[in-house]
Chain A
Amino acid sequence: MAPILQLKGITKRFPGVLANDHIDLTLNQGEILALLGENGAGKTTLMNILYGLYQPDEGEILVNEQKVIINSPTDAINTGIGMVHQHFMLIPVFTVTENVMLGSEPVKMGDFLDRPKTSARIHEISQQYKLEVNPNDYVKDLPVGVQQRVEIIKLLYREANILIFDEPTAVLTPQEADDLFSIMRSLVKQGKSIIFITHKLREVLDVADRIMVIRRGAVVGEADPKIADKNKLAEMMVGREVNLVVEKEFKEPGEVVLSVKDLVVANQFKQVMVDHVSFDVHAGQILGIAGVQGNGQTELVEAITGLDKSASGKILFKNEDITNCTPRKITEVGSAHVPEDRQADGLVLTFPVAENLVLCTYYKEPFAKGVVLQYDKILENSEKLISDFDIRTPSSLTPVGSLSGGNQQKVIIARELSRPIQLLVASQPTRGLDVGSIEYIHKRIVQKRDEGCAVLLVSPELDEVIELSDRIAVMYRGKIIAIVDAGNVTKETLGLLMAGIIPEKIEKEQGEKVVEITF
C-alpha cells in the first residue's frame, strides 16, 4: 500500500544550528510511528514544518503521493494533518464546544453560532472514538487528560487523517497516559495514522508500530518495538552509553529539618491549592513529592520558600517558625531553592554568570563592603564555581541567558549548593534537560543528601521521584494523600495515588507502616 505521508530530504537551518538535516520519513496508513529523540534533537522542528509553522529550506512533503506545500496551519488542516500540541492550544475560558468549533464554526441566520450542531458532532465523535467529554464544560475546569481529549476531538472535527502528537504524555499521570495509548490504538484501527513524538523509551515500546530515532537533526536509525531493547534505544538516542539508574546508598535519617504542619495556601482567587498538608523532612533524607502538575506542588514550594503567603498552618525550620517570612530570611537560616521555572524565578537572564552566582549573597562579606560590591571577589567566586560545577560558559561575564538550558540550571545548582545549607527545596530540577545534564544534577542532589542535607524534591516525572527519593509523598488536588517508603512501592501504586485513588490493599501488599494514609 502506498504511504499516506512522505517527507523527502527535509532540511531546516536556524542561525548557527542545523535543526533538520535531510530527514526522510514515511508514514503508512493505520500505523503509529514513534519519533524518538532527546530534547533539541529536531523532532519538534520537523513537526512544525509539517504543520506549516516553519518552512523547510530544502526537501518536499507528499501526502497520498501528491506533492503539497504547507504554508500555514490552515493549509495543514486542509490537507488532513492535525497536531496535538505539547502546550495545548485551548482557550481556558471557553467551553469545550466553543474550543472545538473555533475557526470552522457552523452558523445560522448570518453569523449566529450554532452551538447545538457542534455539540451533537462532538457527541458523535466521542462515541465513535471513546473520547468521553461534556461539550458544555469550561476547559479551565477540566483535568489535563480531558483537555487533551478536547485537542484530539478538535482534529477529528476537522477530519484530520494524519495526527501528530507532540510529547503528549508530559502532563499526564501514568494511568491517563495508558488511556491515551488505548485512544491512539482505537484511532489507527479506524483508519487514522499517527506520528508520536517522545523521548520516553517505555512509551515507544508500549504503543508504537515502528520507531524512528533522531539525533542532532538527523535520522540515526529505525527500530521495531517488538524486538528493540531499552538500553540500545537510549544509546541510539544519546549517542553514548547511558547510566539510567542513580546510585544511592541507604542512609539513616537524622533530625527533623523542615516540618510543615497543617499548611493551607490559596491562590489569588482564594481557591485552596494546598489543603491542610503536613509532613517532615529529615536531615540526610530526600522526600519526593509526586503528583500530576497543578495539584498544588507549585503553591506548596512557594509557601515554604517565602514566595507566597500561607492562609493557615505552620512551617518550621529546625523548630524555628519561618511561616510567612521573607525569602531572604528563609535563605539566611540555611535553605536553598531550585525553582521550577529557572528562567523566570531562578536567574536574571541579562545579568552575567558571575552576578547570577551571588544573587543570594551579594550583600554580604566578602562580596560587598558596605554598599559597594567587591567585583574581584565576585569574579573569583564565579571562576571557582564554574570549574567546580562544570558550567560550560565562554566566561564569567557572559549573560546567563545565552547559555544552554542545562548550563543555566548548573548555574542555579552551583549558587544554591555552594552555600552551607541544611535544606534544599528542588522543584523540577531537571525539567527540559538532556540526559547528560540530568545524570549530573541527580548526582549532585544525592551528594548533598549524603552530606546530611534535607532535600524536598518536587517533580511530575515519576521515574525521577522514585529513583532519587527515600520517601515519597503523593499530592492530589492540594492534599497529600499518602506518604510511602520509596524502597518498596510500585510505579502502578504511585500512579493510582496520583490519580487520587487509594488502592484498598495497599497496606497488606506492602507490609506494615510502609504507607501512611494521611487522609
Chain B
Amino acid sequence: MTTTTAPSTAVIQRARISDISRTRRISTGVIEILVAVFIAFVFARTLQPDMFTKFVMTPGGITVGSMGDWVIRSQFTLYLLAALCVVIGAFQLIKGFGKFTNLMVGFVFLFLIFSFLTWQAAGKSLNLAGMLSSSVQLAVPITLGAFSGILCERAGVVNIAIEGMMLMSAMVGALMGSITDSAWLGLFFGVLSSVLLAALHAVLSIKYKIDQIISGTVINMFSAGMTAFLSQKFLQTRQELNNPAMFTRVEIPGLAEIPLLGPIFFNTNFFVYLMFALLIVIQVALFSTRWGLRMRSVGEHPKAADTLGINVIKTRYMAVLLGGLVAGLGGAFFTLGSVGRFDEGMTAGKGFIGLAAMIFGNYTPVGALGAGILFGFADSIGSKLSLLGSTIPSTLMSTAPYIITMIVLAGFVGKGHVPAADGVAYTKE
C-alpha cells in the first residue's frame, strides 16, 4: 500500500506546450521591425534635424510640486527608438524572447506611443504631465465601472447595465446638485438612482431569472431614453438646473510637493482619491474577509455554497446593489467631478470599457485599475493631440480608446479565470 499512496497526495503538475509557437515568434518579430521602419520613415524622416520637442512636466494650473521642462532632439530620439525596436525585433526573429515576448511587445508599443508624441510635438511643446494627469482622471469612470462589474460578476451576475447606471447617475447628479447647490447631495441622489436601477437588474435577473444580458440591455436603453428626455425637457431649457456644485481639487499637504507624482496623484480630484480608496477596500474585502469569501463562492459554485448554509440569493442581491453604488459614483464623476454639466449620452461607452477593463484585469481590483489607466491614457492622447493642432483628424484620434479596447480584448479574452457560475441564474432544487 505504501507504494500506491505516494503519488496520490501530490499536486498535479501538467506540462505546457510552448506558449510561443514558431509562427507567433516570427510574426511578432516582423511586426516589431515594421514598427521600427514606421518610426524611422513616417515619423523621423518628415522632421528637420534641428527640431526640438519640449515636454512640460507640470500639469497646467498647478504651482505645488512643479519641475522643469524636458527638452529632447526630436529626430535623434526617433532614430534611437527605431534602433531599439530593430534590435528587439531582430532578436525576436532570430532567437525569440520566450516568456518575455509579451513584455517586449509592450516595450515596442510604448516606444511607438512615445515616438508618436515626440513627432507630433516636434517644434512645439506638449504638456506630458498634464496628459498623465488627465489619464488618471479619465481612468476614474472606467475603473469604477470595472469595480462595479467585479462586485457583480464575482457573485455570478453579469452586469452590462453599468453604462446605463452611470448615465442615470450623471444626469440625476447634475440635476440634484444644481437644485440643492451641494455636490454631496448631488452625489447622493446620483448614486441612489444608480442603486435603484441595480435593484431592478437584481430583481429581473435573480428573482425572475431573465437572461442577464437582456435585463442589462433593457436598463441601458431605458436609461439612455430617460436621461435624453429629461435633459431636453428641463436641463437644456433651464440652464440653472444644469449647473451643479462641483467637487474641486484637494491638495494633500506634503505629498503634493513630490515632483511629477505629486501633481498627478496627490493634488487632484476627490474622485481620484475615491478610486484608490475603493481599490484597497474592495481588494481586501474580496480576498481577506468572510464576506468576500462567501461572495466569491456564490459566483463560483452556488450549489456548494448553498449546501454550506450560505444564502445565495441574498448574497447576489447585495453584490448587485453594491455594484450599482460603485457605478453610480463613476457616473457622478462626469457631471460633478469633471465636466460640470450634463450632456446627452456623455458616458460615451465608458461603462462598457469598464467591463473590458474588468476582463483585462482578470476580475481583480488591482488589475482593473491598471487596465483603467491604460484605457484612460488612450483617451487622453486623443484629447490632448487635438489641442496641439495635429495633422491627424481629432475624430479619428478619439476612436483610439475603443480601438485599443478591441485589440486588448481580442488578445486577452478566454485567458483569465472567469467566475464559473457567472451569468447563470441559481435555482434551488
**Among candidates A137, A178, A270, residue contacting B1 with C-beta atoms closer than 8 Å:** A178
The minimal Cβ–Cβ distance linking B13 to chain A, given in whole angstroms, is 8
Interface string of B296-333 (1 = CB under 8 A from A): 11001101111111100000000000000000000000
The stretch among B226-234, B258-266, B285-293, B336-344 that forms the contact with chain A is B285-293
Once the chains bind, are B12 and A143 in contact (CB under 8 Å)? yes
Contacts of A478 in B (CB 8 A): 14-15
Tell me if B63 counts as interface (CB < 8 A to partner A). Answer: no
CA distance A102 to B301 in the complex (A): 12
A83-107 interface code vs B (CB 8 A; 1 in, 0 out): 1010001111110001001111101
Determine if A142 is an interface residue (Cβ-Cβ < 8 Å). Answer: yes
Determine the distance from Cα of A92 to Cα of B421 in the docked complex, in whole angstroms: 12
B16 located at the interface, meaning its Cβ lies under 8 Å from any Cβ of chain A in the complex:
yes
Q: Assess whether A54 is interfacial by the CB under 8 Å rule.
A: yes
Distance, CA A315 to CA B303, complexed state (A):
41
CB-CB nearest in chain B for A89: B304
Choose from A111, A268, A500 the contact partner of B291 (Cβ within 8 Å).
A111
Chain B residues closer than 8 Å to A272, beta-carbon distance: 14-17
Q: Which residues from A are CB-within-8-Å of B9?
A: 132-134, 143, 146
Q: A74 vs B428: C-alpha distance in the bound complex, in angstroms?
A: 14
Q: Is A264 an interface residue (CB 8 A)?
A: yes
Residues B12 and A142 in contact, CB atoms below 8 Å apart: yes
Chain A residues in 8 Å Cβ range of B297: 91, 94, 102
Q: Once the chains bind, are A500 and B309 in contact (CB under 8 Å)?
A: no
| B-chain residues with CB within 8 Å of residue A107 when the two chains form the complex | 289-290
Q: Is the C-beta of A208 less than 8 angstroms from some C-beta in chain B?
A: no
Q: Are the C-beta atoms of B300 and A91 separated by less than 8 Å? A: yes
- With contacts A91-B301, A98-B293, A112-B288 taken as known, whether A143 is within 8 angstroms of B8 at the C-beta atoms is yes
Which residue from B291, B300, B310, B429 sits with its C-beta under 8 Å from A93?
Answer: B300
Which residue of the partner chain, among A94, A103, A271, contacts B309 with CB atoms under 8 Å?
A103
B395 within 8 A of A: no
Report the minimal beta-carbon distance from A141 to chain B, rounded to whole angstroms: 4
**Contact code string A279-306 (vs B, CB < 8 Å = 1, else 0):** 0000000000000000000000000000
Residue among B4, B5, B7 with most chain A CB within 10 A: B4
Q: Does B254 contact A (CB under 8 A)?
A: no
A316 contacts chain B at the CB level, 8 A cutoff: no
Q: A94-B297, A271-B15, A496-B4 are in contact. Are A111 and B289 (CB under 8 A)?
A: yes
Q: Which residue of B lies closest to A105 (CB)?
A: B290
Does A179 interact with chain B (Cβ within 8 Å)? yes
Chain A residues with CB under 8 A of B16: 266, 269-272
Tell me if B46 is interfacial: C-beta within 8 Å of chain A.
no
Least Cβ–Cβ distance between B286 and chain A, in angstroms: 11
* Cβ of B34 to closest chain A Cβ, rounded Å: 27
Let me know if B294 and A102 touch, CB within 8 A: yes
Tell me which residues across on chain B come within 8 A of A499, comparing CB atoms: 4, 7-8
* A352 contacts chain B at the CB level, 8 A cutoff: no
B50 within 8 A of A: no
A77 at the A/B interface (Cβ < 8 Å)?
yes
- Say yes or no: B293 contacts A113, CB within 8 Å: yes
Residues of A within 8 A of B19 (CB): 270
Cross-chain contact of A477 among B11, B12, B303, B429 (Cβ < 8 A): B12
Check B288 against A175 for contact (C-beta < 8 Å). Answer: no
Contacts A111-B289, A113-B293, A134-B9: A103 and B14 contacting too (C-beta < 8 A)? no
How many chain A residues touch B (CB < 8 A): the figure is 55
Contact B7 A501 (CB under 8 A): yes
Question: Could you tell me the distance in whole angstroms from the C-beta of B16 to the nearest C-beta in chain A?
Answer: 5
Q: Give the Cβ gap from A157 to chain B, nearest Cβ, in Å.
A: 11
Interface membership of B99, Cβ < 8 A: no
Check if A89 sits within 8 Å of B309, measured CB to CB. Answer: no
Chain B positions within 8 Å of A111 at CB level: 289-291
Q: B124-150, CB under 8 A of A: which get 1 and which 0? A: 000000000000000000000000000
Q: Is A145 an interface residue (CB 8 A)?
A: yes
Complex contacts, B429 vs chain A, CB 8 Å: 48, 53-54
B290 touches A89 (CB 8 A): no
B95 contacts partner chain A, Cβ-Cβ < 8 Å: no
Decide if B253 is an interface residue (CB 8 Å cutoff): no
- A113 with B290, Cβ < 8 A, contacts A89-B301, A102-B305, A501-B3 known: yes
Please name all residues of chain A whose beta carbon is closer than 8 Å to the beta carbon of B294 when the two chains form the complex: 102-103
Q: Does any Cβ of A come within 8 Å of B411's Cβ? A: no
How many whole Å from A7's CB to the nearest CB in chain B?
A: 20
Contact call A112/B289, Cβ cutoff below 8 A: yes
The interface residues of chain A lying within 8 Å CB-to-CB of B289 are 107, 111-113
Q: Write the A64-82 contact mask toward B (1 if CB under 8 angstroms, else 0).
A: 0000000011100100000
**Complex partner residue of A179 from B8, B10, B417, CB under 8 angstroms:** B8
Please, what's the 1-or-0 string for B409-428, where 1 marks a CB less than 8 Å from any CB in chain A? 00000100100100000000
Tell me the bound Cα distance from A293 to B138 in angstroms: 50
Please, how many angstroms separate the alpha-carbon atoms of A489 and B308 in the complex? 44
Quick check: is A176 within 8 A (CB to CB) of the other chain? yes
Interface membership of A470, Cβ < 8 A: no
Q: Which of A100-145 contact B (CB under 8 A)?
A: 101-105, 107, 111-113, 132-134, 137, 141-143, 145
Docked Cα-Cα span, A500 to B111, in Å, equals 51
Cα of A273 to Cα of B15 in the assembled complex, Å: 8
Once bound together, how far apart are the Cα atoms of A180 and B11, in whole Å?
A: 19
Question: Are A145 and B11 in touch, CB under 8 angstroms?
Answer: no
Closest approach, in angstroms, between the C-beta of B326 and any C-beta of chain A?
Answer: 19
Is A275's CB within 8 Å of the partner chain B?
yes
Residues of B with C-beta under 8 A to A333 = none
A307 within 8 A of B: no
B355-390 toward A: CB 8 Å interface, digit per residue (1/0)? 000000000000000000000000000000000000
A325 contacts the other chain (Cβ, under 8 Å)? no
Interface residue? A514 (CB, 8 A): no
**A141 (CB) vs chain B CBs: closest residue:** B11
Measured CA separation A500–B6 after assembly (Å): 10
Contact with B along A253-275 (1 / 0, CB 8 A): 00000000000101011111101
Closest 10 CB pairs of A and B: A103-B308, A74-B309, A89-B304, A175-B4, A271-B14, A73-B307, A141-B11, A272-B15, A111-B289, A105-B290
26 A-B pairs with CB atoms under 8 Å apart are: A48-B429, A53-B307, A54-B429, A73-B306, A91-B300, A94-B293, A94-B300, A102-B297, A102-B304, A103-B308, A107-B289, A107-B290, A113-B289, A113-B293, A134-B9, A178-B4, A264-B17, A268-B414, A270-B16, A271-B15, A272-B14, A272-B16, A272-B17, A477-B12, A478-B15, A501-B7
Q: A89-B304, A93-B420, A175-B8 known; 18 other A-B pairs, CB under 8 Å?
A: A73-B307, A90-B301, A91-B301, A94-B293, A98-B293, A102-B305, A102-B308, A105-B293, A111-B291, A137-B11, A142-B11, A143-B9, A143-B10, A175-B1, A175-B4, A264-B17, A272-B17, A477-B14
